[in-house]
Amino acid sequence: MSAAVGERVEFEPVIGLEIHVQLATRTKMFCSCPLSFGEEPNTRTCPVCLGLPGALPVPNSEAVHFALMIALAFGCEIAPRGLFHRKNYFYPDLPKGYQISQYDEPLGRNGRLGDVRIHRVHLEEDAAKLVHASSSGRIHGAEASIVDFNRGGTPLVEIVTEPDLRSPEQAAEFGRLLQATLRRLGVSDVNMEEGSLRIDANVSVRPAGSSELGTKTELKNMNSFRFLERGLAAEIERQRALLSAGEPVVQETLHFDPRSGTLAPLRSKEEAHDYRYFPEPDLVPLVPTEDMIARARQALPELPAERAERFQRELGLAADTARLLAFRFELGDFFELALAAGDGVDARALANWTVNELAARVGDGDPAASPLTAEAFAQLVSLVQQRRISAAAGKDVLDRLVATGGDPHKIVEELGLEMAASDELDSIVDEAIRENADAVAKIRAGKVQAVGAIVGAVMRATRGRADGAEVQRLVREKLGL
């Protein structure tokens, strides 16, 4: 599908993702070793996860439950009979020489998340972790790699999408929705830095408007959405350049270095036959019962996409605001608590204060874990909404509430932040007009922006307690405008 040299062809990317999710179970997939992160190397192992002769695997029922929840959340068809296979390949971090996975009979098929179709959802076990020693960390005087088997056998769900994505930005956006959905389900902490969520991307390019798929390459283990975007953009540009020059794209697996922005080949891309799949003889087929499916379905919460749509439909929130509240469910939960606690508080004003002010003060934390209560937050937004305090004063009160809690009404009274009344403003505006004759002359000459000097003077005199709109009204009235 290469273009003739010199011929100008518009290419479009075609992207599909393979996502590995470490499940937040208590123990590993096929043994009773406890799961942990950051423990001393090789302290969470047993004969089963080390692949010692005679050790027999037993499936983790909690992992099966979590996998069913994921498949149902995506609207997948649940397989009446799932089969575990041995996926054979040799790496130092795979002690058995094969991985127990699911091949042609996965747990779930034909789902959807947002606008992206989900091809399959299946269970498998994770490999161990290779630690590469640098020249400054030599082992017995030589550069080497060592293996930490603690991670080996961790339950994984692999989610494979159809090639429905058409840009790096769309791929990253889908990844964020997927992460928020899995976090809301409570099946994983989906921490990309710790490897709980790992994304591989398959990408090809083709002439715009074509339905034919080009030769794909794979980018391995993108550990942030920003790196996913950058890696895909670099690979798409590389493939476009090759095809424009009349050269073929070679099917291979690539590594993207985010520091240098370069791509390097790792190996030729494997096909299914390279893994020599065959049914795992030590495990019976996985047959989800009606009770298992019903229990998983009952455990499903309202999912982020559904919640964002409800916020827009029922509360009239802007799409970006609704999306942020839905994706960060702790913020969304706190917002809904405050909305229920606030008598007559405007939902849109409360949402804007939540995503713009409260989120900035709690960072990645849960606002419910701070001293601020949902009721106090709703009262504060109502004070601003009713113009009893200015927005600037409201931000000062919010600082106090997040730090130490309390009653916003008492804090406003204690700090003297209540909005200045019109009769109090009257003499202050008169004084500001007298002291800013130049601004008055400019206003009379038609330069209405000069009113800012008078408003600023009033704000300083009232220590920010004046309503800017009311001050401007008084100025216009007193100048006969």
pLDDT attached to residue 399: 96
How does pLDDT run across 192-235, given as a tens digit for each residue? Answer: 988 899 999 999 999 988 888 899 999 987 889 999 999 999 99
- What ranges in 261-343 are assigned the alpha helix state H? 290-298, 304-315, 319-327, 329-341
What residues contact 201, with CB distance under 8 A and at least 6 apart? 15, 16, 17, 18, 171, 218, 219, 222, 228, 231, 232
DSSP 120-169: EEEEEE---EEEE--GGG-BTTB--EEEETTSTT-EEEEEEE-S-B-SHH
pLDDT attached to residue 234: 95
Which residues are registered as beta bridge partners of 156? 22, 124
pLDDT attached to residue 72: 98
What confidence category does residue 138 fall into, taking pLDDT thresholds of 50, 70 and 90? low
What CATH fold (topology level) applies to the domain 422-478? Arc Repressor Mutant, subunit A (1.10.10)
| pLDDT score of 120 more than 80 | yes
Identify the H or E element spanning 223. none
98 phi/psi in degrees, rounded to 5: -155, 160
Name which of 156-170, 249-263, 278-292, 449-463 the model is least confident about.
449-463
What residues contact 221, with CB distance under 8 A and at least 6 apart? 198, 199, 200
| pLDDT score of 324 more than 90 | yes
- The radius of gyration computed from the CA coordinates of the chain, to the nearest angstrom, equals 30
How does pLDDT run across 350-382, given as a tens digit for each residue? Answer: 999 999 999 999 998 899 999 999 999 999 999
Identify the H or E element spanning 411. helix 408-415
pLDDT attached to residue 140: 56
Q: Residue 329's closest CA among 350, 359, 349?
A: 359
Name which of 58-72, 116-130, 152-166, 272-286 the model is least confident about.
272-286
pLDDT attached to residue 3: 54
Q: Is 7 helix (H, G, I), strand (E, B) or coil?
A: coil
DSSP state of 5: T
How does pLDDT run across 395-438, given as a tens digit for each residue? Answer: 999 999 999 999 999 999 898 888 776 667 778 888 888 888 88
DSSP 60-94: -HHHHHHHHHHHHHTTPEEPSSB-EEEEE---TT-
Mean pLDDT of 29-34: 96
pLDDT attached to residue 134: 59
pLDDT attached to residue 141: 56
Q: Residue 453's closest CA among 465, 469, 463, 442?
A: 442
As given in the structure block, the two tokens for residue 431 are: 């004084």
Using an 8 Å Cβ cutoff, are 180 and 164 in contact?
no
DSSP 160-175: EE-S-B-SHHHHHHHH
Highest mean pLDDT of the ranges 15-24, 85-94, 260-269, 337-346: 15-24
pLDDT attached to residue 348: 97
DSSP state of 308: H
What span, in angstroms and rounded, lies between the C-alpha atoms of 308 and 327?
A: 8
DSSP state of 3: P
Could you give the percent of the chain with pLDDT greater than 90? 66
How does pLDDT run across 178-203, given as a tens digit for each residue? Answer: 999 999 999 999 999 888 999 999 99
Mean pLDDT for the chain? 90
Residue of higher predicted confidence among 452 and 60: 60
| pLDDT score of 139 more than 60 | no
Count of CB atoms situated within 10 Å of the CB of 421: 12
Using an 8 Å Cβ cutoff, are 79 and 271 in contact?
no
Distance (Å) of CA 50 to CA 34, 88, 148: 14, 16, 11
Burial degree of 349 (CB within 10 A; 0-12, 13-18, 19+): middle
Mean pLDDT of 439-466: 80
How does pLDDT run across 255-296, given as a tens digit for each residue? Answer: 998 888 889 888 766 666 677 899 999 999 999 999 999 999
pLDDT attached to residue 106: 95
What span, in angstroms and rounded, lies between the C-alpha atoms of 447 and 249?
A: 63
What residues contact 372, with CB distance under 8 A and at least 6 apart? 358, 398, 401, 402, 405
Burial degree of 142 (CB within 10 A; 0-12, 13-18, 19+): exposed
Residue of higher predicted confidence among 231 and 457: 231
